[in-house]
Structure formats: C-alpha cells, structure tokens
Structure 1
Amino acid sequence: MTNKRDKPPKNAAETREDRLKAALKANMAKRKAQARARKASDTDRKE
C-alpha cells in the first residue's frame, strides 16, 4: 500500500494540536453565533 498524502505524516503532538486548534475555532464560532442570536432576540423583545 502506498501513502497517498503529499505531506509527510506529522508527529502525534502536532496532530493533536491541529485538532484542538480546529475544535477551538469551531467552538468560538458557535459561541459568537449564539451571542448574536441572543442579542437579536433581546432587541426584538424590547421593540
């Protein structure tokens, strides 16, 4: 079997760090969306 990746395999620490970085980015985006939704619903209630 041949390895179809263009890049050489990363070590475990780099792979874990990349996964954590991606998870953190997704989590922050989700939290920002939730905050925007809460702010929008609060504005709607005040009117």
Structure 2
Amino acid sequence: MTGDQGKDASKPSAGSKDSRRDRLKLALRENLRRRKAQARGRDAGPSESAEASLDDAGGEKPTS
C-alpha cells in the first residue's frame, strides 16, 4: 500500500495538465502577437526621423 501512494504523488493530475496547457497556449498567443507587431513595424519602413538621421550621419554638409 505504501508503494501506491508514491506513484500517485509523482503523476501530475489532470487539472495541472490543463492549467499547463492553458499557460502554454497563452504564451504562444502572446508570442505570435509580438512577432506580428514586429513584422508590421518592419513592413511600414523607416520613419522620417530615421531617414533624416541617416542623411546627417556624416556630420558634414554637402557642397554644391
């Protein structure tokens, strides 16, 4: 009888499996949202301030 108690303690219950699955599902969903937002940001292209900073990167004004 004492051997049976050890086996029950090591097995995860069905409730803990469900909660783990829910946590993983939520984490995957959040990760997907974050990646989609990053992809949208890349697709939008550089902003005007980023383009201006690239033009001024040399620190010298062009001579015409």
Q: What is the TM-score normalised by the length of structure 2? A: 0.53
Q: Give 1 or 2 for the bigger CA radius of gyration.
A: 2
CA RMSD of aligned residues (A): 2.1
| Counterpart for residue 8 of structure 1 | 10
The 5 Å alignment of 1:1-40 reads 8-40=10-42
Structure 1 residue runs without a partner (length 5+)? 1-6
SS state of the match for residue 36, structure 1?
Answer: helix
Q: What is the TM-score normalised by the length of structure 1? A: 0.69
Q: Deviations over 1:3-47 (max 9, x none)?
A: xxxx811111111000110111111111100001001111x1767
Runs of 4+ in 1 over 2 A off after TM superposition: none
Count of matched residue pairs:
40
Q: Identity over the aligned pairs, expressed in percent?
A: 20
CA distance in 2 between counterparts of 1:21 and 1:39 reads: 27
